[in-house]
Chain A
């Protein structure tokens, strides 16, 4: 069956996607496009990938029935515990996959971009594991607000290069990583951290993250005697954890998908990262997608209290889920997210990443039936955000 919501053979999700890249990147991206499906389908690749996910990452991650949260919101709420992955977030599912691919393509030097630092840490980790050189581009602003992750990357042997152009955040770190790749086309592999960038990256990253929804299905079958929940809720910056959590439910139309974006200080405040509402179709980092921009087509600076959500675009898969209304998009403000974060800590004893806290804030916005099975992707843990939480709540 042809999926409406997955990528087509030309690299598009509906109107979105493609590979709008300078000629300098063409040979590398084209080689990847030709080979990513065949390499990742090889038995040896699958064996190595699965073994590392199991023994190194700690998969399968639990699907935890959150009893107190369920009572509070009068539904059956399950948390997919990606926060328990090695390095503290779902990001490592993807970096394991991509580094195995990079090795098979004979690449020796790894570059990555990072916002909150989770993808940077996950990349530095797999580079240490494989003994490959690692350079992570990170916006100067993010380096400041995510100091613990910078320290982790350095300890893992990575070089952290500050991106000092533009808003000095994730978008600019991505620009710098792309410029590095242009200048180092032979030995370098670019591990993109989200379902963004030129085709085949969005599809490739979604496939590596799809283990999340694959596990949800089998775990729900055991716990609820059904494979499909009524709702899957995930936060979206670029959208990799949501892509992974939605993947095996995309064509199950009875599963309601909720994508949670960062409203920042409010949709109309001028300081927001709610791309679906504020964006228009445009091109960023090689992909045609919804994009926050001026009328003149200049990309604007997004804002969110969480460094992992302030990206002015969104992955093309999500742009299509928004346009086709397959997923509901909800924007959550900084304040609501922070409150949801501390409430989860005190209701279930789990401190979520601020990105993830946005997904929990949705619980107050939705009305559920008592028997509704709701899965929230708990994409990352909040250790890296303790400073922000502490300052915000004056703890």
Chain B
């Protein structure tokens, strides 16, 4: 059982936090992760910044642009994470777009993930079909879980296919949108959460996009295993810096 499966088998709802590596400052990565762990966060998504993040709204776009200005690169990220497993044992996931990984070399990237102790990857623009035909074996041989997105528009057949080819969790995008925060979910979204829960998938589901506060977190974890918060966390650290994270987490849990 890997770290993600272990964590998801615990009898509790999961709070996962996303942040963009290199933001607000280039070298915040390690202390941010340790700080999140201290504040009882269950899982962390480390965003590898990209110049053209198609699936992201203005908040994550701006943090990516700033991170790149600060000098963040794939190589630097792996250096920063080098000894992270001496202090941190919760699941760590890298979320990034495919092109920077392609330039780093996919095998090299997976190798670095394995050595660093990264558990899984979320790559929004690497589609299922290409993953299955070209990369699945490579991911598996490095022990790296690939995490796929589904949306309210994803067909049942495709969700079953994704479920069959996942072994960590399924990332449920809460609505047809790019990343960004909202105050509450509407009826359609709640019905979608319920519909997916009723499919009895083998993988637990974690909801992301639009989670920003206690209300949206609780709506999300009513039927699903957990929720991911990104944009509103980034807004918080932009405004308050990285040393008052407890205030943010206290407002969610």
Residues in A lying within 8 Å of B, measured CB to CB: 18-24, 26-27, 165-166, 171, 175, 178-179, 182-186, 280-286, 291, 293, 295-300
Contacts and interface: CB of A to CB of B under 8 A. Distances in A.
Contact of B154 (A26, A182, A298): A26
A21 B125 contact: yes
B103 interface: yes
Given A27-B153, A179-B178, A182-B178, A22 B54 contact: yes
Contacts of B55: 22, 24, 179, 182
17 contacts: A20-B130, A22-B54, A22-B124, A23-B124, A24-B153, A24-B173, A24-B176, A182-B55, A183-B176, A185-B176, A283-B97, A285-B54, A293-B103, A296-B75, A296-B103, A297-B99, A299-B99
B143 to A, nearest CB: 24
B207 to A, nearest CB: 14
Given A20-B125, A178-B54, A297 B178 contact: no
Interface string B64-99: 010010000111000000000000000000000111
A299 B155 CA distance: 33
Contacts of B158: 26
Contacts of B155: 27
B126 interface: yes
A185 B99 contact: no
Nearest to B162: A23
In this complex, the member of B127, B148, B149, B173 whose beta carbon has the largest number of chain A beta carbons within 10 angstroms is B127
Contacts of B50: 297-298
A58 B57 CA distance: 41
A182 B177 CA distance: 6
B182 to A, nearest CB: 12
Contacts of B65: 165-166
A297 B101 CA distance: 8
B190 interface: no
Nearest to A286: B125
B179 to A, nearest CB: 10
Given A18-B130, A22-B149, A165-B61, A298 B100 contact: yes
Interface in B188-231: none
Contact of A282 (B102, B130, B151): B102
Contacts of A282: 99, 102-103
Given A297-B100, A298-B68, A27 B154 contact: yes
A267 to B, nearest CB: 21
A186 B154 CA distance: 12
Contacts of B154: 23, 26-27
A238 to B, nearest CB: 15
B73 to A, nearest CB: 5
Contacts of B68: 298
Contacts of A27: 153-155
B74 A297 contact: yes
B128 to A, nearest CB: 8
B51 interface: yes
Contacts of B54: 22, 175, 178-179, 182, 285
A23 B151 CA distance: 7
B103 A280 contact: yes
B161 to A, nearest CB: 12
Contacts of A23: 124, 127-128, 148-151, 154, 173
A21 B127 contact: yes
B151 A24 contact: yes
Contacts of A178: 54
Contacts of B99: 282-284, 291, 293, 297, 299
Contact of B125 (A22, A183, A184, A280): A22
Contact of B153 (A19, A21, A185): A185
Contacts of A179: 54-55, 57, 178
Q: Which 3 A-B pairs have the closest CB atoms?
A: A297-B103, A297-B100, A23-B149
A26 B158 CA distance: 10
B52 interface: yes
